[in-house]
Chains A and B, each alone.
Chain A
Amino acid sequence: MITPAETVTLALGVPLLGFVLVAMSGRIPNLRETFTLLTAVATFALVASLYPAVMRGEEVRVALFEVMPGVPLAFRVEPLGMVYALVATLLWIPNSVYSIGYMRGNNEKHQTRFYSCFPLAIASAVGIAFADNVFTMFVFYETLTLSTFPLVTHKGSTDAVRSGRVYLGILLTTSVAFQLFAVMWIAVLAQQGAASGIEFTEGGVFAAALASDAVSADIVGLLFFLYIYGIGKAALMPVHRWLPAAMVAPTPVSAFLHAVAVVKAGVFCVVKVTVYVFGLGTLNRYGLGEWLLYVSGFTIVAASLIAAFQDNLKKRLAYSTISQLSYVVMAAALFTPLGVLAATFHIVAHAFGKITLFFAAGSVYTAAHKTQVSQLNGIGRRMPATMAAFTVGALSMIGVPPLVGFVSKWWLINSIMERGTLTGVDFSEVFVLLVIAASTLLNASYFLPIVYRAFFKPLSDEDMKHPHGEAPMAIVYALSFTAALTVLFFFWHRPALDLAELVRRAAL
């Protein structure tokens, strides 16, 4: 019987083993893909097997080794990390199935390199999710960036290289200049006794030091700023440019970036440091992060507006992601326990909807070689499954019941109410409500026309000359599965909500 602590080590080790196996079996594609799928299922099973322990409130800690004296690579399983790890490892399974259909359907080159990068990225994601201290989180945050870089530049064209430069440039610049700076600063403050340590702590690491004036609130506020902008993966404006640039990647990679690992890592880190490094109490008491509410609100509306003007389908989806990510950040920035619950839940909700949308976009590209919204007239008749799934994803983004997007919007609005009762209603609550209203309308305005075109407009004469059907079965299976999850999760989201409830309690 393996203990939960060993399971954590295995959940990191299995994807690394998968990487080796995939890289070595490049000559036999079927074996290679078998390894990918086995790794994906095994990793998810390992992570999921930790669920009971987390619900029982067991303390699961692993310290692998000390990189530098006093700075260990250490892991601890807590509910918030569990949510992210579950989402990432679960969605990697359909993502892998989809990749196989897409890569074979489009005869892409260098498939071994392609498949071997995914397990590395998933290992990084698991590392981020279970990181016990700010150093460990930073290390895996960086390895996630580096391991996804070859995926983004997969095509190797001039365009891909240029986009890769933007991707790496923005993500590494923000993480080195801001996040690393904050990490080191916290480590030094911990040495000087002005922070309780570099470990993630309920209530934050500064609570005691602030109370005894060992550290000034201004420094903590500055650290908060450094951290939020040091997490470029959360795509908060103005550091969002890397996400549309990364659209040059093959669609499975886009889905992976947008729903499985990368941007989810960003918002997860934002919630994690808000709750476990700074602490809601601290942030509220000293009024430190109010600006974040407005920046994320602005990002939501601005990104939605930009999305409405994109004709390229994947670009439109990318800006939609930027907007949706800021929902998570905004929910966290309410600095109320219920807000943290809403943020946690939206990480899951958005993942299911967005992966479906990207799968559909890639499916259209594979079957019909179309990339623009304006080319999609009547395509719903030829690809009913794909476009039905797209519709499900789109409606979930808008927040229509019975889809999971509605549930997270419900909790978000609840948390605004909670904030109103806790701190008294002022402009900020009104602002957040207005942002949600505006963004819902905008979401509807840029998603529904696509659905309308696909199902209600006739095929053009040009299209009539090029008949095509649905995409390969692997693709259709994958997107049907995630679309089904999006619906199912509206009715049965108990596990995620239970975990989110634990996060809420930790944040109290």
Chain B
Amino acid sequence: MLEHLRTQLPALIVVTPLTMGLIVALIGRRQIGWYIAMATTAGVFAMTLQLLMDVLNHGERSLTYLMGNWPVPYGIAYKADPLSASVMLIVAAMAAVITFYARRSVASEVPVGKLHYFWGLWLFCITGLLGITITGDAFNLYVLLEISSLSTYTLVALGKERNRRALTSAINYLLLGTMGACFYLVGVAYLYMATGSLNIPDIAERLQPIYASWGTDAPLYQKTVIAGFAMMAVGLSLKLALFPLHGWLPNAYTYAPSAVSALLASTATKVGAYAFMRVIFTLVGVGFAFGRLHTDIALMACSGAAIIVGSWMAIRQVNVKKLLAYSSIAQIGYIALGFALANRDGMTASVIHLINHALTKGGMFLALGMVMYRLGGTRLSDLRGLGRKMPLTMAAFTAGGLGLIGVPLTSGFVSKWYLVSGCLEGGRYEMAAVVLVGSLLALIYVWRVVETIYFGKRDEEVQVREAPWTMLVPTLLLIGASLYFGINASHTAYIAQAAADYLLGAAR
């Protein structure tokens, strides 16, 4: 029985949260929602862990699961390889930790009558993110993208009890997110037109004769394929919030409920980046995307601008949540820069930063969530002198901030080390300089907050206590993990290098 279930893991990982999400929303008993969500995310976490081990123990290091046993390319195939399995593990781990944290935080920010919807949507969102990661089917990816996006819009809008601007932020996000999804869908349609397939490895195979024909007198589908890829690239850039398509992100992160901000910041954009990598390296191929179209130059320009502009905007914020949101835009720039370099160190940096930034930024958003829980606001003035009132929360925030700067012995440093090495290896000295300038700008925006926390004068009349342990423990766990992976990066570097080799191998 168990052995049989084990072969079904790739499907179960996606189907379980989907089913449980429906059940939570339908039962409607408000208290039970969190318990089901917690049990589900914990179960999914266990399953992704098992799946990763299965993948690593498997001879070919990849497992293909056929939905309904329909053969490729007719049915939908799920594909678990070292990269997708690790990204799923991160998503599931972050989801479980943040869910544990979220009980009190969500209860204080979302109206009681809507709690069951909240937890249902929460599980749908996680379903979508996990599905995007594991699916090997370009159209199925669109469907799962929409599942995660639609639930995210609603989750963001649920922040309206605290601030009405959550509604406009959600609408803004919905408009841009839907456009992004449409772009992606049209792109898939164009590729389907050229190749007649939706399965990602199958499309890649069928594109080869098409590419080969372009040098000859009778080029096949040249404009179709180029337009198709361009559409997909723009659609995914929107999802990933790559500069200059980041407009939806700051407000959505700022006005969403705290737990939602943490989940989005640590998983959603990461999965977007992962999907983008997949499209470039395993779908259209790096020879086409970078070699022929020079998308890498465009990506580097965008990511460089993201790093500088994102950090610069972060410096100017007075709401710390928004500051972190802009910082995320800069961090996405680092991830995109890594895979735009398309060399081993660059790709390693990209994947390792996916992990490190998920932990760091997730932890920092959780720390801010506790400030929100105790003080009802996250403006810079709310944090004044809080270092003495909420020492653990603020220590976690500060440690995370050091990670954003990339101080040695934090995981941010490891990411930066690989990224700059990748830049220097590729002879991209100007991008190496941009990365270092980004660190210095991060120093400025982080230090503004740290100074306020530890040197700001607090009105002693208002009593503030340290946050409850149910919120503290998950936060410290994430920040602790981000520090640990800065001191001993051998595990993360192993996974990231395996993933980089896999993607670069697929590209050849």
Whether B421 and A188, one on each chain, are in contact in the complex, defined by CB atoms closer than 8 angstroms, is yes
A138 in contact with B489 (CB, 8 Å):
no
How far, in whole Å, are A173 and B405 apart by their CA atoms in the complex? 11
Asked whether B408 lies within 8 Å of A68 as measured between CB atoms, the reply is: no
Q: Given A66-B490, A67-B489, A68-B489, do A181 and B409 touch, yes or no (CB 8 Å)?
A: no
Task: Contact check, B490 vs A165: say whether CB atoms are below 8 A apart.
Answer: no
Instruction: Name the one of A67, A156, A176 contacting B440, with C-beta atoms under 8 angstroms.
Output: A176
Residue of A67, A173, A180, A185 with most chain B CB atoms under a 10 A cut-off = A67
B421 engages A138 (CB within 8 Å): no
Given contacts A69-B493, A71-B417, contact A139 B455 (CB under 8 A): no
Cβ-closest chain A residue relative to B414:
A68
Q: Does A172 sit at the interface, judged by CB under 8 A?
A: yes
Report Cα–Cα, A184/B417, bound state, in Å: 7
Using known A-B contacts A161-B455, A180-B436, determine if residue A173 contacts B447 with beta carbons closer than 8 Å.
no
Is B420 among interface residues, defined by CB-CB distance under 8 A? yes
Interfacial chain A residues near B489, Cβ < 8 Å: 67-68
A177 adjacent to B408 (CB under 8 Å) = no
| In contact, A142 and B408 (Cβ under 8 angstroms) | yes
Q: Is B293 an interface residue (CB 8 A)?
A: no
| Cα separation A69 to B414 with both chains bound (whole Å) | 11
What chain B residues lie within 8 Å of A188 (beta carbons)? 421, 424-425
A254 CB within 8 Å of chain B: no
Kindly state whether residue A143 has any CB partner on chain B within 8 Å.
yes
Q: Contacts A67-B489, A161-B455 given; indicate if A185 touches B408 (C-beta within 8 A).
A: no
B432 interface residue (CB < 8 Å to A): yes
Q: Are B407 and A142 in contact (CB-based, < 8 A)?
A: yes
A176 engages B443 (CB within 8 Å): yes
Which residue of chain B has its CB nearest to the CB of A140?
Answer: B408
The smallest beta-carbon distance between A125 and chain B, in angstroms, is 16
Q: Are B421 and A184 in contact (CB under 8 A)?
A: yes
Q: Is the CB of B487 within 8 A of A161?
A: no
Return the chain B residue nearest A146 by Cβ.
Answer: B407
Known interface pairs A156-B455, A165-B447, A176-B440. Does A184 touch B420 (Cβ–Cβ under 8 Å)? yes
Give the contact-size bracket for chain A.
20 to 34
Contact B436 A177 (CB under 8 A): yes
B304 to chain A, nearest CB (A): 16
Proximity bits, A155-173, B CB within 8 Å = 1, else 0: 0100001001100110011
> Given that A176-B439, A187-B421 are contacting pairs, would A165 and B451 also be in contact in the complex, using a CB cutoff of 8 Å?
yes
Chain B residues, Cβ within 8 Å of A309:
none
Question: Does B488 belong to the interface (CB within 8 Å)?
Answer: yes
Q: Is B464 at the interface (CB under 8 A from chain A)? A: no
Is A181 a contact of B436 with CB atoms below 8 Å? yes
The answer to whether A68 and B451 touch (CB under 8 A), given A142-B408, A173-B440, A176-B440, is no
Interface residues of B in 400-457 (CB under 8 A from A): 402, 405-409, 414, 417-418, 420-421, 424-425, 432-433, 436-437, 439-440, 443, 447, 451, 455
Query: In residues 254-298 of chain A, which contact B (Cβ within 8 Å)?
Result: none
Tell me if A161 and B451 are in contact (CB < 8 A): yes
Q: Are B409 and A143 in contact (CB under 8 A)?
A: yes
Does A427 lie at the interface of the complex (its beta carbon under 8 Å from any beta carbon of B)? no
Contact call B424/A185, Cβ cutoff below 8 A: yes
Contacts of B418 in A (CB 8 A): 68
How far is the CB of A158 from the nearest CB of chain B, in Å? Answer: 9
CA distance A388 to B451 in the complex (A): 41
A185 — nearest CB in chain B belongs to which residue?
Answer: B424
Nearest CB to that of A180 among chain B residues?
A: B436
In the assembled complex, A443 has its CB within 8 A of some CB on chain B: no
Contacts of B402 in A (CB 8 A): 146
Interface string of B475-492 (1 = CB under 8 A from A): 000000000001111100
> Which residues of chain A are near B425, meaning CB under 8 Å?
188, 191-192
Q: Which of A131-159 contact B (CB under 8 A)?
A: 138-139, 142-143, 146, 153, 156
Contact B493 A173 (CB under 8 A): no
Give the residues in chain B near A164, CB-CB below 8 Å.
Answer: 451
> Other than the known A68-B414, A146-B402, what 11 A-B pairs have Cβ atoms closer than 8 Å?
A66-B490, A68-B417, A68-B489, A69-B490, A138-B408, A168-B443, A177-B436, A181-B420, A187-B421, A188-B424, A192-B425
Query: Can you list 8 residue pairs at the A/B interface with Cβ under 8 Å?
Result: A67-B409, A68-B489, A139-B408, A139-B409, A161-B451, A177-B440, A181-B432, A192-B425
The 5 closest A-B pairs by CB, nearest first: A139-B408, A188-B424, A184-B420, A68-B489, A161-B455
Interface residues of A (CB under 8 A from B): 65-69, 71, 138-139, 142-143, 146, 153, 156, 161, 164-165, 168-169, 172-173, 176-177, 180-181, 184-185, 187-188, 191-192
